[in-house]
Amino acid sequence: MNTSAPLPMAPPEAATTSARSARTSLPGRILFALANSRELMLLALIVILAGGMTIVYPKNFPTTYNISAVLLNAAQNGILVAGMMLLMIAGSFDLSVGSTLALAGVWAGVVVGWWGWPAPLGLLAALIVGGIAGAVNGAIVTRLGINALIATLATMTIYRGLTYLTAGTGVTPISDNYAAYGETVVLGIQTPFWVMLAIVVIGGWAIAKTRFFRQYYFIGGNARAAKLSGIRVERLTLIGFTIMGLLAGLAGALAASRLNSAVVSAGIGVELSVITATVLGGASLKGGEGTILGGVLGVWFIALVQNAMIITGIGVFWQPIVVGVVLLLAVSLDRYKQAHRG
């Protein structure tokens, strides 16, 4: 959406002139494009990191096993980031996704594992529970007018509590039929990855192109102006939260099926890593900005950093530090760009 911005690394006083010369030289033009598109920047970071790992650890990193493991592990957050990005674009967010995920997974387990119902009904139960949880969040935010932070902070603990109430310590095993949803391997990668890919591709297209989802950018850009322009802000916000809940329910169903076990502690802390991915991917807390592609690249980048920390032996504890530093750098770059918009 930015039309022009100076070269990011140039000192402020030289910003305009160097921006002009930057656009004429090839490396300048590349840097300029990277600074202007968070997606390109993340892609470049991913390519550099993966390329470096391939050169230094040719035996461990670029293997089918490792790559498919990274992609599979990122599938859950990839599904969630699609919904979270939609909410962030509208200037909102949902802290209860981890709890919703667990609650939905546990209900799939109860329906199939305890009641002995067929596996598809387990999946359906998870989607219904997730959708209701999301709609409740949306109703609290839009009808009661409680802001999203407080509302979903409250439902985060409520949904977690409901999860414990429903299934105590969880449901194990669920059923082999149900486990097949998450364990079937297609082209070397398990189904959750393909589900994520489908959601991200369709969702990414819809948010970028359709009239319906374009309205979310207006809501995030200026909610009052959106309302006065005839956009049904409350209704769309409610729908956004419901979509988020459905996706969390789907992620919960898949997580339970991968392990053939509905775990009550599933998804703890996942909300912040998903929000981190959206911000890395170009969303702003004020709303009005962001793409699904950016969010997914954010998820993959975080997963890749984690993988690299393990393979290099640096230690997985460094992963959150690296992610935090990259997040700060990416956002500072934006601040800088805004302050020196040409």
Residues at the contact surface with other proteins, assessed by CB under 8 A: 1, 3, 209-212, 214-215, 217-218, 221-222, 224-232, 288-289
Q: Burial of 290 by CB count in 10 Å (0-12 exposed, 13-18 middle, 19+ buried)?
A: buried
Smallest gap from residue 83 Cβ to other proteins (A): 20
- Is 115 or 205 the residue whose CB approaches other proteins more closely? 205
Please choose, from the candidates 105, 116, 211, the residue with its C-alpha nearest in 3D space to the C-alpha of residue 162. 105
- Is 29 or 209 the residue whose CB approaches other proteins more closely? 209
Smallest gap from residue 336 Cβ to other proteins (A): 17
- Is 225 or 310 the residue whose CB approaches other proteins more closely? 225
Smallest gap from residue 234 Cβ to other proteins (A): 9
**Rounded to an integer, what is the distance from CA 215 to the centroid of its chain?**
20
Residues 22 and 267: their CA atoms lie apart, in Å, by: 45
Please choose, from the candidates 155, 142, 144, 36, the residue with its C-alpha nearest in 3D space to the C-alpha of residue 91. 142
Non-local (6+) Cβ contacts of 287 within 8 A are: 88, 89, 90, 91, 92, 219, 220, 221
- Is 107 or 218 the residue whose CB approaches other proteins more closely? 218
- Is 178 or 216 the residue whose CB approaches other proteins more closely? 216
Residues 242 and 236: their CA atoms lie apart, in Å, by: 10
- Is 59 or 211 the residue whose CB approaches other proteins more closely? 211
Residues 288 and 285: their CA atoms lie apart, in Å, by: 9
Q: What angle do CA 214, 42, 241 make, to 5 degrees?
A: 35
Q: Which residues of 185-203 are buried (b: 16+ CB within 10 A; e: fewer)?
A: eeeebbbbbbbbbebbeeb
Residues 255 and 226: their CA atoms lie apart, in Å, by: 37
Smallest gap from residue 317 Cβ to other proteins (A): 38
Smallest gap from residue 33 Cβ to other proteins (A): 17
Residue 3 CB coordination number (10 Å): 7
- Is 37 or 222 the residue whose CB approaches other proteins more closely? 222
Smallest gap from residue 141 Cβ to other proteins (A): 17
Smallest gap from residue 205 Cβ to other proteins (A): 9
